[in-house]
Amino acid sequence: MTQNTTTQPENIVIIGGGAGGLELATRLGKKLGRRKQARITLIDRNNTHLWKPLLHEVAAGSLDAGVDEVNYRGQARRNGFHFTLGTVCDLDREKREVILAPLVDSEGTTVLKERRVPYDQLVFSLGSVTNDFGIPGIKEHCMVLDAPAQAERFHQHLLNAFLRLDRARAQGLDERLKLVIVGGGATGVELSAELYNAASVLKDYDLGHVGPDHLDVTLVEAGPRILPALPDRISQTVTHELGQLGVTVRTQTKVVKGHEGALETDDGERIEGSIMVWAAGVRAPSFLKDLAGLETTRNNLMLVSATLQTTRDDRIWAIGDCSACPQPGDRWVPPRAQSAHQMASHVYKNMLRQRQQKPLLEYRYKDHGSLISLSRFSTVGSLMGNLTRGSMMIEGRIARMVYISLYRQHQVALHGVARTALLTVIDRLNHAIRPRLKLH
């Protein structure tokens, strides 16, 4: 007599709904979740997803986050995975359980007690946060743009500052708005340009006393040039373009202390700013440091092997900005959106190969180039970073089209070609009927 046994589907848990995590959950949900071959669970502390490279546009008001956000539960329903709202606070590797902190609402009331989510395969895709390097006064006096809520907070401060400036200048006072951005990477550079774009359209919305000429934006970089990860010719071009807009670019300027309304440099100079943003350096969330005995770097990144599995536990994977993945030639995978996309695709392939009992593939980062958007003024970048002997520099309309296409590729990964085409049409309609700047 044959005894029937029921095999429980494998639990695949993904922590973090950023670009890599949400793309991986979507692909695994379509492939395995819909067929009940595995239970795919995505965990995130927020209810919605926004592509991180768009945060500077949200901060400046050029983009309404509510229009472009993806609801995790809606995405899960359409694509065969499950979503759990929560913040990971610990990990039990012995029992193979993710521990979620109590869920508390805005009034301090506990909505859900501590929970445990079982896993057979676990993927960390938590992204990164800004690294203030422990510099005194930075946390207290500078804003960061790591999440949509922080970008919205900056936007409200910016709107209030514009209102005060418009009122002061209407009364005949020669007031100016001083903003300081620390960090000459993509976020700092793109935010600088977006601020001038925002100021240039205010006159169309009854703030006629404020314009780009009334902004003093200072971009501070500790290194010898901005955009250090990109070719020098692109850095020089962007520096020139920012100067044409009115941005003061300060290189080889090290900030050692933050004060209310000013930043102090290592030579004792004070750089004044009514709004100050810290966009220098990245690290993984602090709780990842040596989590459950897993190997991490001094920036809390989880060390992974070439297959993207953590070095001390083959059941746990890490992708995107929270992972430290070595590459040939003593190089490391850079913290970019294209890295997260590539790694998500690689883990997807390896998980399927694992189920088929095939050897896992080693990940090799492919640099397809980088693009920097200077709002509507210009777009500059390089293409085919490792596909040719060098990089091909592009700018202008072609560069802008390629820049936009990167976001469309992310949307295709989440929604498919047909839905992305519809979203593109909706974006065009919104551009025609909505204000050019979010004013609330």
**Per-domain residue ranges of the chain:** 10-128+284-364, 138-281
Amino acid at residue number 38: A
Residue listed under structure tokens 């780009």: 212
Quick one: which of 249, 248, 269 has its CA closest to 257?
A: 269
User: Which CATH architecture fits 138-281?
Assistant: 3-Layer(bba) Sandwich (3.50)
Structure tokens at 88: 């990971």
**H, E, C per residue of the chain:** CCCCCCCCCEEEEEECCCHHHHHHHHHHHHHHHCCCCEEEEEEECCCEECCHHHHHHHHHCCCCHHHHCEEHHHHHHHHCCEEEECCEEEEECCCCEEEECCEECCCCCEEECCEEEECCEEEECCCCEECCCCCCCHHHHCECCCCHHHHHHHHHHHHHHHHHHHHHHHCCCCCCEEEEEECCCHHHHHHHHHHHHHHHHHHHHCCCCCCHHHEEEEEECCCCCCCCCCCHHHHHHHHHHHHHHCCEEECCCCEEEEECCEEEECCCCEEECCEEEECCCEECCHHHCCHHHCCECCCCCEEECCCCEECCEEEEEECHHHEECEECCCEECCCCHHHHHHHHHHHHHHHHHHHCCCCCCCCCCCCCEEEEEECCCEEEEEECCCCCCCCEEEECHHHHHHHHHHHHHHHHHHHHHHHHHHHHHHHHHHHHHCCCCCCC
Structure tokens at 226: 């901005």
* Contacts of residue 313, Cβ cutoff 8 Å, sequence gap at least 6: 93, 294
Domain pair 10-128+284-364 / 138-281, same fold: yes
Residue 387 has what pLDDT?
39
pLDDT profile of the chain (440 residues), mean per 10? 59 97 98 97 97 93 90 98 97 97 92 96 96 95 95 96 95 95 95 94 89 96 93 91 96 97 96 97 92 95 97 97 94 92 97 97 90 84 55 71 88 95 90 82
Dist CA 248 CA 220 (whole Å) = 8
Residue 360 has what pLDDT?
97
Residue 398 has what pLDDT?
77
Quick one: which of 232, 240, 195 has its CA closest to 214?
A: 195
Structure tokens at 124: 């960390």
* Contacts of residue 191, Cβ cutoff 8 Å, sequence gap at least 6: 56, 59, 60, 145, 181, 277, 279
Residue 12 has what pLDDT?
98
Handedness of CA 196, 201, 205, 209 (dihedral sign): positive
Q: What is the pTM of this model?
A: 0.92
Strand partners, 303: 324
User: Which CATH architecture fits 10-128+284-364?
Assistant: 3-Layer(bba) Sandwich (3.50)
Residue 386 has what pLDDT?
45
Residue 131 has what pLDDT?
93
